[in-house]
Structure 1
């Protein structure tokens, strides 16, 4: 049985690879304030500390039986590893109003969803 023939590259064809970076360039200052949506590595993207947000970034809220829906709320997580698997959650909270997140040195990643920017308090 004959081996299948592989296509030959055309003369002058150049292979191009691209590097993708997820975070600030090496030596960059940590982000402050932290944007309201995203996943951030502690020590690389953001500095440890106590952060405050004004709450939800939603322009309108949806309430069912006097309870805001999750899409109407600001939601955050801290993780014990850079892997943001929900098994590694250290702390979480959700609110429509102002709240704090303590991102201490043992936290490896911080995730924010639908929140106003987070400003470092201490």
Structure 2
């Protein structure tokens, strides 16, 4: 009788293989489920990364467009400024006060007016030596005065006349 009890409690090779197969199948099934969860997580992370990349690309395009617009505006302003510089320099040479001014360098030739003062003396000059012969013409006036400075004049000098402004 002892032999029958011992044999009946030991599983057969087929039973052992069935238990191993069931155990392996359960482990493989668990690993597949875990792998599927990891793949879903990776796919979600990839989708988020793609969305972030698309947003970054859109932001970069917007930044590039803004830079291009700013560069264009800057170039336009530089061009306008370059066009204004000679006009500003010309305007600066079209208003002056008392003293000696070189024609073409300090002041532009043309017709100027001043409100003058009670004693206004001016001279158109052919030179700056201070000699009497340098005076082309001059005047002593009280009040407003108008004078035309020629491009052939070397200098213009005034005293007590206030501000001269080009009128033509």
TM-score by length of 1: 0.59
- Picking from 118, 122, 127, the partner of 1:81 is 127
- Picking from 42, 46, 50, the partner of 2:107 is 46
Structure 2 contact 127–154 (Cα < 8 Å) conserved: yes
Post-superposition Cα deviations, 1:8-37, rounded to whole Å, max 9, x if no partner, equal: xxxxxxxxxxxxxxxxxxx892533111x1
- Picking from 142, 149, 161, the partner of 1:103 is 149
Gaps of 5+ in 1: 1-26, 57-71
Gaps of 5+ in 2: 1-85
SS in 2 for 1:83: coil
User: Which has the larger share of helix?
Assistant: 2
Which residue is 2:60 aligned to? none
TM-score by length of 2: 0.44
Structure 2 contact 95–107 (Cα < 8 Å) conserved: no
Which residue is 2:161 aligned to? 115
Q: Displacement of 1:90 after TM fit?
A: 0.3
Which residue is 1:31 aligned to? 93
Matched residues, number = 80
User: Which has the larger share of strand?
Assistant: 1
SS in 1 for 2:104: coil
- RCO comparison, higher one (Cα < 8 Å, 6+): 1
CA distance in 1, matches of 2:131, 2:96: 21
